[in-house]
Amino acid sequence: MVFESGHLYHIYNQGNNRQKIFFSRENYFYFLNKIKKYILPHADILAWCLMTNHFHLMIYVHTVEIEVSRESGNADIGSTIIGSTTIGSTTLSRATYNEFTTIKKQNLNKSIAIILTSYTRAINLQEKRTGSLFKPHTKAECLTKFQGITPTFFGSQINVRIPEKEYPQACFNYIHQNPVKAKLVERPEDWEFSSFPDYCGKRNGKLIKRERAEEYIVDIRDISRTT
Protein backbone atom coordinates (compact mmCIF):
# COMPACT_ATOMS: atom_id res chain seq x y z
CA MET A 1 0.00 0.00 0.00
CA VAL A 2 1.28 3.44 -0.90
CA PHE A 3 0.02 6.38 1.14
CA GLU A 4 0.56 10.10 0.61
CA SER A 5 -0.28 12.95 2.94
CA GLY A 6 -3.26 15.07 1.98
CA HIS A 7 -5.27 12.30 0.31
CA LEU A 8 -8.33 10.19 1.11
CA TYR A 9 -8.11 6.40 1.18
CA HIS A 10 -10.56 3.53 1.44
CA ILE A 11 -8.90 0.74 3.43
CA TYR A 12 -10.46 -2.70 3.69
CA ASN A 13 -9.75 -6.34 4.33
CA GLN A 14 -11.77 -9.46 5.09
CA GLY A 15 -11.39 -12.78 6.82
CA ASN A 16 -9.20 -15.36 5.15
CA ASN A 17 -11.54 -17.54 3.04
CA ARG A 18 -14.23 -15.06 4.11
CA GLN A 19 -14.23 -16.46 7.61
CA LYS A 20 -15.59 -14.54 10.58
CA ILE A 21 -13.26 -12.04 12.22
CA PHE A 22 -15.60 -10.84 14.98
CA PHE A 23 -17.09 -13.41 17.35
CA SER A 24 -18.54 -11.21 20.08
CA ARG A 25 -19.51 -7.61 20.78
CA GLU A 26 -16.34 -7.22 22.81
CA ASN A 27 -14.26 -8.20 19.75
CA TYR A 28 -15.63 -5.22 17.82
CA PHE A 29 -14.71 -2.83 20.62
CA TYR A 30 -11.26 -4.37 20.94
CA PHE A 31 -10.63 -3.81 17.23
CA LEU A 32 -11.92 -0.23 17.42
CA ASN A 33 -9.53 0.53 20.26
CA LYS A 34 -6.67 -0.66 18.09
CA ILE A 35 -7.84 1.57 15.24
CA LYS A 36 -7.92 4.50 17.64
CA LYS A 37 -4.42 3.77 18.91
CA TYR A 38 -2.69 3.07 15.60
CA ILE A 39 -4.62 4.97 12.91
CA LEU A 40 -5.42 8.31 14.55
CA PRO A 41 -1.75 9.35 14.88
CA HIS A 42 -1.56 9.10 11.07
CA ALA A 43 -5.00 10.08 9.84
CA ASP A 44 -8.48 11.48 10.38
CA ILE A 45 -11.22 8.88 10.10
CA LEU A 46 -14.19 9.96 7.98
CA ALA A 47 -16.12 6.69 7.95
CA TRP A 48 -15.81 3.17 9.28
CA CYS A 49 -17.80 -0.04 9.35
CA LEU A 50 -17.01 -3.38 10.98
CA MET A 51 -18.88 -6.33 9.54
CA THR A 52 -18.92 -9.94 10.68
CA ASN A 53 -16.15 -10.97 8.29
CA HIS A 54 -14.63 -7.72 7.02
CA PHE A 55 -13.99 -4.06 7.78
CA HIS A 56 -13.90 -0.71 5.99
CA LEU A 57 -12.11 2.52 6.85
CA MET A 58 -12.23 5.83 5.00
CA ILE A 59 -9.37 8.03 6.15
CA TYR A 60 -7.63 11.30 5.37
CA VAL A 61 -3.87 10.81 5.77
CA HIS A 62 -2.07 13.74 7.38
CA THR A 63 1.10 11.97 8.57
CA VAL A 64 2.43 8.94 6.72
CA GLU A 65 5.28 8.35 9.13
CA ILE A 66 5.37 8.94 12.89
CA GLU A 67 8.01 8.60 15.58
CA VAL A 68 7.54 5.85 18.15
CA SER A 69 9.64 4.99 21.17
CA ARG A 70 10.55 1.42 21.95
CA GLU A 71 12.44 -0.20 24.79
CA SER A 72 15.96 -1.12 23.76
CA GLY A 73 16.37 -3.69 26.52
CA ASN A 74 19.94 -2.51 27.15
CA ALA A 75 19.37 -0.41 30.23
CA ASP A 76 19.43 -1.83 33.73
CA ILE A 77 16.35 -0.56 35.56
CA GLY A 78 16.62 -2.86 38.53
CA SER A 79 17.31 0.00 40.91
CA THR A 80 15.79 3.46 41.10
CA ILE A 81 17.82 6.26 39.52
CA ILE A 82 17.02 9.84 40.42
CA GLY A 83 15.85 11.66 37.31
CA SER A 84 12.91 13.01 35.37
CA THR A 85 11.32 10.01 33.66
CA THR A 86 9.29 7.24 35.29
CA ILE A 87 8.81 3.79 33.79
CA GLY A 88 6.62 1.67 36.02
CA SER A 89 7.93 2.22 39.53
CA THR A 90 11.40 3.18 38.36
CA THR A 91 12.51 6.77 37.88
CA LEU A 92 15.23 7.21 35.30
CA SER A 93 17.59 10.04 34.55
CA ARG A 94 17.20 11.51 31.09
CA ALA A 95 20.48 9.92 29.99
CA THR A 96 19.45 6.50 31.26
CA TYR A 97 16.00 6.88 29.67
CA ASN A 98 17.60 7.60 26.31
CA GLU A 99 19.63 4.39 26.64
CA PHE A 100 16.51 2.46 27.62
CA THR A 101 14.42 3.64 24.66
CA THR A 102 15.01 4.10 20.97
CA ILE A 103 13.05 6.44 18.72
CA LYS A 104 12.05 4.84 15.44
CA LYS A 105 9.99 5.80 12.43
CA GLN A 106 6.78 3.87 11.87
CA ASN A 107 4.77 4.29 8.69
CA LEU A 108 1.05 3.79 8.21
CA ASN A 109 1.55 0.40 6.57
CA LYS A 110 3.34 -0.84 9.67
CA SER A 111 0.64 0.55 11.95
CA ILE A 112 -2.06 -1.29 9.99
CA ALA A 113 0.01 -4.48 10.12
CA ILE A 114 0.30 -4.16 13.90
CA ILE A 115 -3.49 -3.84 14.22
CA LEU A 116 -4.16 -6.98 12.20
CA THR A 117 -1.35 -9.06 13.68
CA SER A 118 -2.13 -8.24 17.30
CA TYR A 119 -5.86 -8.70 16.76
CA THR A 120 -5.23 -12.07 15.11
CA ARG A 121 -3.17 -13.21 18.09
CA ALA A 122 -5.96 -12.24 20.47
CA ILE A 123 -8.66 -14.01 18.42
CA ASN A 124 -6.54 -17.13 17.96
CA LEU A 125 -6.14 -17.30 21.72
CA GLN A 126 -9.83 -16.66 22.32
CA GLU A 127 -11.05 -19.16 19.75
CA LYS A 128 -8.26 -21.69 20.31
CA ARG A 129 -7.30 -21.53 16.68
CA THR A 130 -4.10 -21.01 14.68
CA GLY A 131 -3.14 -19.46 11.37
CA SER A 132 -4.13 -16.37 9.45
CA LEU A 133 -7.33 -14.55 10.31
CA PHE A 134 -7.25 -11.94 7.52
CA LYS A 135 -6.48 -12.13 3.82
CA PRO A 136 -2.76 -11.56 3.17
CA HIS A 137 -3.07 -8.18 1.48
CA THR A 138 -5.02 -5.26 2.93
CA LYS A 139 -6.33 -2.97 0.17
CA ALA A 140 -6.02 0.81 0.14
CA GLU A 141 -7.76 2.70 -2.70
CA CYS A 142 -6.96 6.39 -3.10
CA LEU A 143 -10.15 8.41 -3.60
CA THR A 144 -8.52 11.71 -4.50
CA LYS A 145 -5.66 10.73 -6.80
CA PHE A 146 -6.69 8.44 -9.63
CA GLN A 147 -4.26 8.63 -12.55
CA GLY A 148 -6.75 6.71 -14.66
CA ILE A 149 -7.41 4.03 -12.05
CA THR A 150 -10.97 3.39 -10.92
CA PRO A 151 -11.23 2.52 -7.22
CA THR A 152 -12.96 -0.78 -6.53
CA PHE A 153 -14.81 -1.93 -3.44
CA PHE A 154 -14.30 -5.69 -2.99
CA GLY A 155 -14.03 -6.02 -6.76
CA SER A 156 -17.01 -3.81 -7.68
CA GLN A 157 -16.21 -0.67 -9.64
CA ILE A 158 -18.20 2.48 -9.06
CA ASN A 159 -19.30 4.67 -11.93
CA VAL A 160 -19.22 8.42 -11.42
CA ARG A 161 -19.04 11.43 -13.71
CA ILE A 162 -16.62 13.64 -11.75
CA PRO A 163 -14.20 11.35 -9.85
CA GLU A 164 -12.50 13.95 -7.65
CA LYS A 165 -15.89 15.09 -6.34
CA GLU A 166 -18.00 11.94 -6.42
CA TYR A 167 -15.67 9.13 -5.33
CA PRO A 168 -15.53 10.30 -1.69
CA GLN A 169 -19.33 10.51 -1.50
CA ALA A 170 -19.78 7.16 -3.24
CA CYS A 171 -17.31 5.47 -0.90
CA PHE A 172 -18.89 7.11 2.16
CA ASN A 173 -22.30 5.83 1.07
CA TYR A 174 -20.99 2.38 0.19
CA ILE A 175 -19.35 1.87 3.58
CA HIS A 176 -22.47 2.82 5.52
CA GLN A 177 -24.80 0.75 3.31
CA ASN A 178 -22.87 -2.47 3.97
CA PRO A 179 -24.99 -3.72 6.91
CA VAL A 180 -28.21 -3.03 4.97
CA LYS A 181 -26.98 -4.86 1.88
CA ALA A 182 -25.97 -7.79 4.07
CA LYS A 183 -29.50 -7.79 5.55
CA LEU A 184 -28.17 -7.35 9.06
CA VAL A 185 -30.35 -4.30 9.65
CA GLU A 186 -33.04 -2.43 7.74
CA ARG A 187 -31.49 1.00 8.23
CA PRO A 188 -27.78 1.94 8.35
CA GLU A 189 -28.22 3.86 11.60
CA ASP A 190 -29.29 0.63 13.30
CA TRP A 191 -25.91 -1.05 12.83
CA GLU A 192 -23.91 -0.35 15.98
CA PHE A 193 -20.50 -0.96 14.50
CA SER A 194 -20.32 1.79 11.91
CA SER A 195 -19.89 5.55 11.97
CA PHE A 196 -23.33 6.31 10.57
CA PRO A 197 -25.09 6.44 13.99
CA ASP A 198 -22.68 9.30 14.80
CA TYR A 199 -23.56 11.21 11.64
CA CYS A 200 -27.30 10.85 12.05
CA GLY A 201 -27.23 12.02 15.66
CA LYS A 202 -28.04 8.69 17.26
CA ARG A 203 -24.64 8.51 18.97
CA ASN A 204 -21.82 10.92 19.77
CA GLY A 205 -18.78 8.87 18.88
CA LYS A 206 -15.29 10.39 19.01
CA LEU A 207 -13.57 8.27 16.38
CA ILE A 208 -14.69 10.23 13.32
CA LYS A 209 -13.51 13.69 12.28
CA ARG A 210 -16.74 15.33 11.23
CA GLU A 211 -15.09 18.59 10.15
CA ARG A 212 -12.83 16.71 7.73
CA ALA A 213 -15.76 14.73 6.35
CA GLU A 214 -17.63 17.94 5.58
CA GLU A 215 -14.74 19.01 3.32
CA TYR A 216 -15.31 16.03 1.01
CA ILE A 217 -18.83 14.72 1.54
CA VAL A 218 -21.66 16.67 -0.06
CA ASP A 219 -24.35 15.24 2.19
CA ILE A 220 -23.11 13.26 5.17
CA ARG A 221 -26.60 12.01 6.09
CA ASP A 222 -27.86 11.03 2.65
CA ILE A 223 -26.55 7.57 1.81
CA SER A 224 -29.43 6.58 -0.42
CA ARG A 225 -27.20 6.40 -3.50
CA THR A 226 -25.67 3.02 -4.12
CA THR A 227 -22.54 2.21 -6.05
CA gap 83, 118 in Å, rounded: 33
Cα distance between residue 164 and residue 148, in whole Å: 12
Q: Domain ranges in the chain? A: 7-65+107-216, 67-104
Please state the CATH superfamily assignment of the domain spanning residues 7-65+107-216 in this structure. Answer: Transposase IS200-like (3.30.70.1290)
pLDDT of residue 136: 93
Q: What residues are paired with 107 via a beta bridge?
A: 65
100 to 67, 75, 80, 148, 158: CA distances (angstroms): 16, 5, 14, 48, 50
Reduced to 3 states, what is the DSSP secondary structure of residue 131? coil
Give per-10-residue mean pLDDT for the chain (227 aa).
94 96 98 97 98 98 89 39 38 50 88 97 96 95 71 51 70 95 95 96 93 86 53
What confidence score (pLDDT) does residue 72 get?
Answer: 46
Residue 220 is predicted with a pLDDT of 72
Q: What is the pLDDT of residue 217?
A: 87
What pLDDT shows up at residue 69? 78
Q: Judge whether 108 and 64 are in contact, CB under 8 Å.
A: yes
H-type helices in 57-152, by residue range?
A: 94-100, 108-127
- Residue 170 CB: number of other CB atoms within 10 A? 21
pLDDT the model gives residue 223: 62
Q: What is the pTM of this model?
A: 0.79
Question: How far apart are alpha carbons 136 and 120 in whole angstroms?
Answer: 12
